[in-house]
Amino acid sequence: MLQIGATMSKVVTLFRPVGEEELALIQQSGMNAFPPRLYWQPIFYPVLNEEYATQIARDWNARDGHSGYVTRFQVAKAFLDRYEVHRVGGALHLEYWIPAEDLDEFNHQIIGSIEVISEFHS
């Protein structure tokens, strides 16, 4: 994990909608890392804005008796510059596609802690 002393121009604030199981694994890491992808999850998708993350957490994660959470965290911009931003729908639907094999390095580029900023329950 990088030190918090990095300047704000060198970091990017990202969001990730998660369900109950993924949040429990993040909490087990001390709120410092996202869990490895499962074999059928080749890509890790952090998103660029809170509204998009909220849509996913509220409309997908928090259904059928489950809960959804929006996490916020900062990542070193120099690391993210290796990846393109993908638009996957409307103007708000912007995300990075981080290959699963790069997730450990991604986690090392998180500055500070991952924080839960909202939650939704069905």
pLDDT digits (tens, 9 = 90+) for 14-38: 999 999 999 999 999 999 999 999 9
Number of domains forming the structure of the chain: 1
Q: What's the CATH number where 104 sits?
A: 3.20.170
**Closest Cα partner for 97 from 61, 45, 23, 57?**
45
* Residue 49 in domain: yes
DSSP annotation of 38 reads P
Determine the number of helices (DSSP H) and then strands (DSSP E) in the chain: 4, 7
- Give 8's contacts (C-beta < 8 A, 6+ positions apart): none
How far is 112 from 109, CA to CA, in rounded Å? 9
Classify residue 112 as left (phi > 0), alpha (psi -120 to 50) or beta. Answer: left
Return the C-alpha torsion angle 53, 3, 113, 18, nearest 10: 40
pLDDT of res. 8: 54
pLDDT digits (tens, 9 = 90+) for 93-107: 999 999 999 999 999
pLDDT of res. 6: 45
pLDDT for 61 beyond 80: yes
* Residue 32 in domain: yes
* Residue 67 in domain: yes
* Residue 101 in domain: yes
* Residue 3 in domain: no
* Residue 2 in domain: no
What percentage of residues in the chain have a pLDDT greater than 90?
Answer: 88
Domain that holds residue 106: 8-121
